[in-house]
Amino acid sequence: MGRDPRRAPQLDDPAKINLTKRTLQTGHSMKQPMNEKHRGRRQFLRDSALLGTGLLFSNKLFSATATTATAQPQEKNPAVISRVDGRKLSPDELVFVASLQGVVAKTSPRIYLDVANYSFWIPAIEKCGCRFEDATLDQLRRRYLKEAAGYVLAGMNNISVAATVAGPLKAVVLTETMQKRIAADDANDDAGGLKMLMDARDKTEEWLLDYVKAHGPDFSYNGILQHIPARPHTLVDLAIADNKLCIVGKEKPKLVDAFYSLIEPNTPRLGWGNPYHNELHDVSLGSKHGLFTLAAANALNLSLFSKIQPPDIQPFRQPANTPDPDRKNVHHVMLMMSDGSNLSWIMGPFITGDRFIGSPRAPGIKMNWMFPPITRELAPAIFDYYREHLPRDNYLLGAPSSAGYTYPSLHKDLPQFAATTNRMLRAAGLDIGVVIDTGDFRTKEKDVLKTMLQQMPDVKGLYYMAYDGYTKWGGDYYKINGKPVISLRHRLWPPKYPLETIAEQINKASRNVNSPDAYSAVVVHAWSYTMDDVARFVKLLKDDVVLVNAAEFMELMSKNVKTKNY
């Protein structure tokens, strides 16, 4: 990303800083402590049986319940959106714009931060009746800063703390650089008199935890944001717009555990990489609290995407299944791309480039893609674009573990998670899920999957994969309540599992269609191979190897292969 390294000019004379300051060392006026008011809110949710039923997601995913502080619901899409070129902004400026974007989105989303591939989505938003106008940073300030009640002063090392606090305060986040710059320019625009509502430069995440507990009802607990310091502006807009908790928690598992304990189960954790900086341990911690993870460390503009509605959004229309169940002496292959729970990828090169769904090769191959159904609610315009541009013959599956990345064997309140997953898949038009779990899943997999499928009446079946290498269960196949459950047999993942090696194994495999050995569910490692590689792999297969989509694969195995039903 070609970001301008320049910084705003510094002012040496403190007397020139003419902002009216109201520094609060411990926060704004204290509310009723959490031990009464906040506990009552959570008990209300439990008594109302809202958790996991889909009611928490009934309007927007990040809309709070009636007992959670948030912005007023938006009635219609904005007529005009101000587009600012983020490639020309410094890190301090990016944080300021993202925070102003969040403040504005509390009433109506009218700022779009255009960086990297985000220009790609402008036509999709324009289809929703919005018109874009380019704006400079100063134009944004003059146009929108008056909507902020004040600002929170932050250091670049604790933007997440400042963004969390700024939400209920309806404040922008300023670093010292931006504070001085705005102060110097106040006399020349209509944004004068911006008040400092809190100096958060010395505030830690430990302090934030106490602050949140003391001001419990001011925040939304329908999910949590977790960004990385290397990209301090990401997720800031959503934190402020929806009063969500935003943390880093690097190498602080006990602290992260305490934050997670505040969050409603079966809601998303948007972010990546902490507290352990180890995928297995990080996702496991979220799973134990009933949170499903969507990698979103690079996600921008979510405060806008979550509130812009296409005029007539519909579920996906999956391709028609046309398997030939009577064909004998063939080997059936189903190809699936990995990592579909990565929201940053879904909003970026997954379709904006020419390597994956956007590849010119995709329409000619029966490819299957894991896809987060939450996109239907979190970014309806992006979902609608995928719906209209999914290549022919391509099939979408629920991202692991269908709603989002969690290990079902560890997941708190698994039945409610499965019920929420079923609702999300149905709304998105997806009818097959993918489950990923840890190594010890093997000892209880059937009980876990049975618990899930009992709450997923709209799902045809499940594919399941191991965290450790994806394919350690080697193509196992059985049914639960009559629905097929199929483990992945092969992976395309160099250097140990290159295209040529796996193609040779498949070419030598069984052609007895009544044997499970004549069916290979293959996962393609997304960070190693693209659709160019997939096309090359397909050419290596013999003529009696038949490529089918995920639904056809399930249908063929169900018809031809006898197995146990649990």
Rg (CA), the chain: 25
Asked whether the predicted pLDDT for residue 523 surpasses 60, the reply is yes
The strand ranges marked E within 316-403 are: 331-337, 367-371, 395-398
The backbone torsions φ and ψ at residue 52, rounded to the nearest 5 degrees and listed phi first, read 80, 0
The per-residue pLDDT for 192 is: 53
Domains recognised in the chain with CATH numbers: 60-305 (no CATH), 331-560 (3.20.20.490)
pLDDT tops 50 at residue 526: yes
Which tens digit of pLDDT belongs to each residue from 14-56? 223 233 333 333 333 333 334 433 444 443 333 333 333 333 3
pLDDT at 236: 98
* 469: confidence class by pLDDT, cuts 50, 70, 90: confident
Angle between helices 253-260 and 205-214 (to 10 degrees): 20
CB atoms within 10 A of CB 520: 23
The stretch 541-551 carries a mean pLDDT of 97
Query: Distance between CA atoms of 200 and 400, rounded to whole angstroms?
Result: 38
Name which of 117, 79, 114 is nearest 98 in CA terms.
114
DSSP string, 401-466: TBSSB--TTT-TTHHHHHHHHHHHHHHHT--EEEEEE-GGGGGTHHHHHHHHHTT-TT--EEEEEE
Predicted confidence at residue 441, as pLDDT, reads 66
pLDDT digits (tens, 9 = 90+) for 404-450: 999 999 999 999 999 999 999 999 999 999 999 986 666 788 999 99
Q: Residue 75: what pLDDT?
A: 63
| DSSP alpha helix (H) spans, 454-530 | 499-507
